[in-house]
Amino acid sequence: MDFKVMLTTFAMIFLAELGDKTQLATLSFAAESKSHLSVFVGAACALVFTSLLAVLFGSVLANSIPENVIKLGAGGLFLVLGLWIIISTCLKW
């Protein structure tokens, strides 16, 4: 196991998830529920499963598409989604 990759991945995902919709939804469920352990286990399992899917699809993509194309595609997708959010928010005003 490559601990440098593991720690880098942990740090980036941890920072990206702080204040994220997922964290806020989990906070909301915990506030409404009397079983905080159930909320924690459900949220943790969901995050583990979505991470598993991302790793599986990422490894398939890495074997069939060059890395630079994946990076450009991911960057383009982030830009498109960001612009879409900005435009849709401005149109609601």
The domain tally of the chain equals: 1
d(CA 53, CA 12): 18
Contact 39, 26 (CB under 8 A): yes
Q: What is this structure's pTM? A: 0.66
d(CA 36, CA 29): 8
Contact 46, 53 (CB under 8 A): no
Cα 16–19–25 angle (5° rounding)? 115
Contact 17, 23 (CB under 8 A): yes
pLDDT score for 93: 72
Average pLDDT, the chain: 91
Q: Which range marks the domain in which residue 29 is found?
A: 3-92
Provide the percentage of residues in the chain whose pLDDT is more than 70: 100
pLDDT at position 44 over 90: yes
Q: Tens digit of pLDDT for each residue in 47-80?
A: 999 999 999 998 898 899 998 998 899 899 999 9
